[in-house]
Amino acid sequence: MIIKLFDSCFFFTFVPTNLFILKIIYMKDFPKIVLGSALGFIIASIFISIIFMLFFFITAGSLVKSVGEEQFVPANNSVLNLCLSGNIKERMPRTTTFMPKDETTAMGLDDIIAAIRKAKNDHRIKGIYLNPRIFSASPATLAQIRQELIDFKESGKFIVAYADTYTQSGYYLASVADKIAVNPQGSLDIHGLASMPVFYKDALEKLGIEVQVFKVGTYKSAVEPFTLTEMSEANRQQTTSSLNDIWSFMRSDLANSRHLSIDEVDSVANQFPLLKETAYLINKNLVDTVLYETEMKNYLRTLLNIDKEDKIPSATVRDMKSVPPPIIKKSKNNIALLYAVGNIVSGNGSSDIQDKFMVNEIEKLRKDDNIKAVVFRVNSGGGSAYASEQIWKAITDLKKEKPVVVSMGDLAASGGYYISCNASKIVAQPTTITGSIGIFGLFPNMQGTMNKLGLNFDVVKTHKYGDFGNLSRPMNKDEKAMLQSYIDKGYDTFLSRCAEGRNIPKDTLAKYAEGRIWTGNQAKTIGLVDELGGIEKAIKIAADLANLDDDYVVYEYPRKRSLFEELFYRNKNDLALKTLKEYLGDSYDIFMTIKNLKEEDFIQARLPYVLNIQ
């Protein structure tokens, strides 16, 4: 039997016996045909791959586009359901319905503020139903949200609040409401403020690790967790001063909203109302009424003038993201709102504040003629002194060409203040933590650990300092002297930058430096801050400095990742960190502190590692 395959190439001859003979007959055009077949296969493969990729991206893009561009339309006679939960961060990436549930537990301050403002200006939304659950937010973030709620209320629309249990943060926001209700079996917490830093010295000693510290500043307490087992007197003094100042603002706001005296608020805090009956809350005028949630919903229906059986039309913060503002301004004058959030580190990535990436963003704004002014939103406790210097230089160059106004968030301290100090103007919340002008260096000596493990090291070197930085031995006297001199020089540079930027004599500024933290309110008194307020005030100041009047549009930078980018941004590091956080729980922050100590630059300009204000 003969079966012929591949014309003009070869054929198989099968003999119908137990044996078969394979005959390959080569033709003279065989090389050309093989080359042509291979080339055709490659071209076909590439073509099919391109078709497949186009189909995939068009399909995925269309899916994301349909989700991303679908606009929520608020119903007539509706409310903004302001349900606060999770961790409230400065800014969150865009979200999709395809993200895992744990990806959306955090909320963005920018999204919350935008939702309240849109609701205020939307005639279809009649009020806010404030439902504060268990959430985490700093005093400065709370102040920003609270002011937005006050502005909303002044528009003539109502705010009602309800919770099974009010945390102190939740109640601080709810206190502006026209009516506050609590579940009959619910509770309300007012306890004041406390700071509980964690100290690692004894734990490190058990591991055989000695942390060698080099610093400038009596109040530079970031090193204390590694060298002490309790607060130094200087740190206790500055922490007490800051907490009292922050509480004075929160206490005053609560008193004014609930028509109480300052002493009455303090008295309630000292009685720990969380464990009191709801009758106590009514008696102290902390709440207006006691209702079950179903009864509260019925009350809300009366405000909207709808039947008890009707569903309450509402919009969430997430819904409001896709709702366009009622008036879309157009202008050739742009103000850039540039966010700098997180630790200051060396690198060119977009996470945290990486110097090369941030400098590049600043340079693009400097070269853009349509950008008339920049609001630099800083929310950072600092980090690398070197990286801070690079960003400081970029801001200095930007300031030469257009106004730069810093808006401080929760933190703008140490390195965070370094990158802020040379702005045209600085705006902070009264409860912002700032200052902390000082630097330090941490060098671990792991000789004890090596001894415990039975590891021994030897060295051969050509010069005296050839093994400088060797972690298997303590530093000698000369090495310590050199390093301290280097730290002193860095501190002098930091001090000079701040003195020049704030136009304060260097010797005068030195009195407020030494690593000491200040609240925004205190910082304004001593000249480290110009004005008190939030982002909106900073934008208005920037517009005035650029002589723009009301003719401007604000654009945010860096841009948020698109929905499509966000879908494909999930990576193994995200998964690893989530798993680690779930496993370690409250110990996660401690673990990350020690991890960062190993990975970050040795010379740091940063706030105490964990303020832990509660």
Alpha carbons 379 and 340: distance in angstroms, whole number: 6
- Which member of 169, 187, 414, 420 is catalytic? 414
With contact defined as beta carbons under 8 Å apart, do 140 and 89 qualify? no
Could you confirm whether 220 is annotated as catalytic? yes
Query: Residue 293 phi/psi, 5° resolution?
Result: -60, -40
pTM confidence score: 0.83
State the average pLDDT over residues 567-571: 50
CATH number at 334-606: 3.90.226.10
Q: What is the pLDDT of residues 135-145, one digit of tens each?
A: 999 999 999 99
How would CATH label the architecture of 78-191+272-320? Alpha-Beta Complex (3.90)
- Which member of 120, 126, 179, 220 is catalytic? 220
Tokens of 7: 């014309």
Instruction: Write the CA distances from 419 to 359, 379, 402, 495, 556, integer angstroms.
Output: 11, 11, 17, 12, 19
pLDDT(103) > 90: no
Mean pLDDT, the chain, as a whole number? 85
Could you confirm whether 175 is annotated as catalytic? no
Q: What is the pLDDT of residues 372-386, one digit of tens each?
A: 999 999 999 998 989
Q: What is the pLDDT of residues 271-326, one digit of tens each?
A: 999 999 999 999 999 999 999 999 999 999 999 999 988 999 999 999 999 898 76
* Residue of 208, 133, 235, 210 whose CA lies nearest to 174: 133
Alpha carbons 255 and 271: distance in angstroms, whole number: 16
